[in-house]
Amino acid sequence: MSNIAFTRIQRECKEVVTNKEIAETGIMIEILNDSLSEIKGQIRGPPDTPYQGGSFDLEIKIPDSYPFTPPKIKFLTKIWHPNISSQTGTICLDILKDQWAASLTLRTVLLSIQALMCSPEPKDPQDAVVAKQYMSNPGLFKVTRFSFTFITFS
């Protein structure tokens, strides 16, 4: 990783870790290596969504070409969501693909993933089976989501 990339991701990690607003939304990160190329993320299921009460782990890999290419992020926790693969955890989110810009940050990406959990885009799915169920049978979608991801209620 270049010096510029290292300095930038170091600053972005510090922003996520120390930002009170981020902490209140239930987003956390843990740096897994000294090069800052591997990060574990965690997103709390947003309130008033089928994911409320859940805690979802993410694998975040920062490429050597960051910030000119997006981080590689996938869910480690199984999740039943139209825009997230139920098999691999791959996320269908435009800013992680063709809409990435070097001005975006780790904070922006994590907040965008949490927003996607609130507002699925079933017409642009990562998992067609989940998207079909989401659109045609919302009740079954919710039941399946509960059986797919263990959620505890407090």
Residue 48 CB contacts under 8 Å (≥ 6 apart), including other chains: 118
The two three-digit tokens of residue 149, written as one number: 């991801």
Q: Name residue, tokens 């209620």.
A: 153
The two three-digit tokens of residue 75, written as one number: 């869910």
Sign of CA pseudo-dihedral 122, 126, 131, 134: negative
CB 91 within 8 A of CB 116: yes
- Cα 67 to Cα 12: distance, rounded to the nearest angstrom: 11
The two three-digit tokens of residue 71, written as one number: 């981080």
Q: What are the φ and ψ backbone dihedral angles of 105, each rounded to 5 degrees? A: -125, 170
Write out the catalytic residue numbers: 92
- Cα 39 to Cα 36: distance, rounded to the nearest angstrom: 7
